[in-house]
Amino acid sequence: ETGVTQTPRHLVMGMTNKKSLKCEQHLGHNAMYWYKQSAKKPLELMFVYNFKEQTENNSVPSRFSPECPNSSHLFLHLHTLQPEDSALYLCASSQDSGLAGNEQFFGPGTRLTVL
Amino acid sequence: TQLLEQSPQFLSIQEGENLTVYCNSSSVFSSLQWYRQEPGEGPVLLVTVVTGGEVKKLKRLTFQFGDARKDSSLHITAAQTGDTGLYLCAGVNRDDKIIFGKGTRLHILP
């Protein structure tokens, strides 16, 4: 595998379910990101991790819980979601977390539907 | 709140035609990025512009950063069906925060 991979690619869950999204990068990068892409809204940065430490949380509700066990893996744990949380969740990585000088490489995303 | 407005939202043109899409803001950005996203995939970075007035070319694509670093344009010459996709602009501000526009969905007809 090369680049940034995400699993699952599609997920349907009920509001009482608990599920996790997984992201893995094979690029040797130190920074990883979670984004939310909703229809008719701009791409929203949710969390930033640099060297496994969370450096940014953009006022994301606590029903989204990120985990970064090492620089190559990033998880997004989901529980008691709402239908409005349905979106494409994109993971990205970059060499370092400085957005101005580092190219971000995106995974293909997980299409999440909350019923 | 910084916003990036992209126009048009949708554009459908014939293969071979030229087009320009725009990315505008009232805020100054340290750099501006353009991405293309195809269905079922994540965005892919096309270019980053940093200096006011900067022009960068990528084959048939020409990117320009406004002199005041508040706006940018993407011009495609002789569009091809392979150019179809969602074009996103993203600005990085002085606090190293990234803001995306909603995108222009481009459809090139054969």
**pLDDT tens digit sequence for B42-95:** 999 999 999 999 999 999 999 999 999 999 999 999 999 999 999 999 999 988
> Which of the pair, A7 or A96, is modelled with greater confidence?
A7
Residue from B23, B28, B35, B37 whose CB has the most chain A CBs within 10 Å, to mutate: B37
pLDDT at residue B2 is higher than 90:
no
- The verdict on B86 touching A (C-beta cutoff 8 Å) is no
Structure tokens at A75: 């998880």
- The verdict on B82 touching A (C-beta cutoff 8 Å) is no
pLDDT at residue B34 is higher than 80:
yes
CA distance B77 to B51: 23
Residue from A43, A57, A88 whose CB has the most chain B CBs within 10 Å, to mutate: A43
Please report, for residues A44, B32, B53, B77, the alpha-carbon distance to residue B102 in angstroms, rounded to integers and kept in the order given.
Answer: 10, 14, 23, 23
pLDDT at residue B96 is higher than 80:
yes
Q: Which of A42, A98, A109 sits opposite B100 (nearest CB)?
A: A42
**pLDDT tens digit sequence for A43-93:** 999 999 998 888 888 889 999 999 999 999 999 999 999 999 999 999 999
In chain B, residues with a C-beta closer than 8 Å to the C-beta of A40 are 102
**pLDDT tens digit sequence for B49-60:** 999 999 999 999
Question: Would you place residue B20 in the very low, low, confident or very high pLDDT band (cuts 50, 70, 90)?
Answer: very high
Q: What does the pLDDT read at residue A1?
A: 57
pLDDT at residue B1 is higher than 90:
no
**pLDDT tens digit sequence for A19-30:** 999 999 999 999
